[in-house]
Amino acid sequence: MALEKIRSTTVLGIVHNGQVALGADGQASMGNTIAKSNVKKIRKLLDGKIVTGFAGSTADAFTLLERFEEKLNAYNQNMKRAAIELAKDWRTDRYLRRLEAMMVVANKDELLVISGTGDVLEPDNQIAAIGSGSMYAQAAATALKKHAPHLTAEEMVREGLSIAADICVFTNHNLIIEKPAG
């Protein structure tokens, strides 16, 4: 019998009206079982100037987070350049290639999705969602941006994740939401 990995679930980031917010639920699942309900999947880097969120295998995500921080330091805190360099390494390095995680990174101006296939994506509509409940969260966020533009980015992230948690069994209501420092 193969051991199942503990996986983290839903992350949602939004840029709206000059604000950026990134949030995640707190559930980690092992197969169909909740392994932990209050995992912190959002991390601040560079004194809060960069906020990151991860989905996938937790140990793999922390490895990538460390590598991303190294790239930020190597490339003068340039988030986009650090993301591209991490994605290059992730795709070509034999060890990193096996990691199973995705990341959303944000600064005060933009969001990026970094994947293990070498992609660095600037998401459509300035909404980034990864993890098991990502499509529910993204759909909710898209509707909120269109029909409730008076909400803040933080309120949209909170509501989008809450809707995802109502629908997705791998997403819960223990939310952490952060905004990058200006």
Residue 168, marked binder: yes
Any domain includes 178: no
Query: How much is the average pLDDT of 168-181?
Result: 96
CATH of the domain at 73: 3.60.20.10
DSSP state of 172: -
Any domain includes 177: no
DSSP H/E element including 82: helix 79-92
Any domain includes 31: yes
The pair of three-digit structure tokens given for residue 132, joined into one six-digit string: 């098991």
Residue 171, marked binder: yes
Any domain includes 182: no
Any domain includes 18: yes
Catalytic sites, residue numbers: 9
Any domain includes 180: no
The pair of three-digit structure tokens given for residue 61, joined into one six-digit string: 């995500």
Which residue, among 135, 121, 136, 161, has the nearest Cα to 22 in the 3D structure?
A: 161
**What does pTM read for this prediction?**
0.93
Q: How many domains are there within the chain?
A: 1
pLDDT at 12 over 80: yes
Residue 83, marked binder: no
- Which pLDDT score, from 0 to 100, does residue 58 have? 76
- Which pLDDT score, from 0 to 100, does residue 1 have? 43
Look up the domain containing 48 and give its range.
6-168
By DSSP bridging, strand 6-8 and strand 50-57 are antiparallel
pLDDT at 109 over 80: yes
Distance CA 6, CA 4 (A): 7
Mean pLDDT of the chain: 91
Any domain includes 175: no
